[in-house]
Amino acid sequence: MVVYASAADYAAYTGQSAPAGIEAVLARASERIDELLVTAVYRVDPVTELPTDRKEAEAIARATCAQAAWSLAVGDPYGVAAAFKSVQIGSVKLDRASGGGDAGPARHAPDAASILRTAGLLPGFVIDQGAW
């Protein structure tokens, strides 16, 4: 699995120290970025699988940091909240999200998609699967 950003990238992007466990959050964020980049065309290093163009690599790293920051802000670093309409910790209560218009929160950070689109890595608009 390719991780597109480091703790130092995250700190630079957010202007704050990276929190404990940020490596795992960035790994999950990289998976979300891979979902957005599924049809993108760009050159990668055959060994590291990272983008070889500096501007594209920087955009993907920033998008990964935006995804990580957003997932931490919404309290869902693993992107599982879309499966539930509500969650309660005390006495554990989980309500599955229903289909239709109430499908739960999105899985992708709007800023991440915007960064990738501005860099020319996304051909159009991202329709987040959580919205469907």
Q: How far apart are CA 71 and CA 29, in angstroms?
A: 8
Kindly give, in sequence order, each residue whose CB lies less than 8 Å from that of residue 121, ignoring residues fewer than 6 positions away: 37, 40, 42, 56, 59, 60
Amino acid letter for position 93: K
Amino acid letter for position 90: G
Q: How far apart are CA 87 and CA 14, in angstroms?
A: 28
pLDDT tens for the chain, 132 residues long, are 899 999 999 999 999 999 999 999 999 999 999 999 988 889 999 999 999 999 999 999 999 999 999 999 888 766 666 655 566 667 776 666 555 555 556 788 999 999 999 999 987 665 665 544
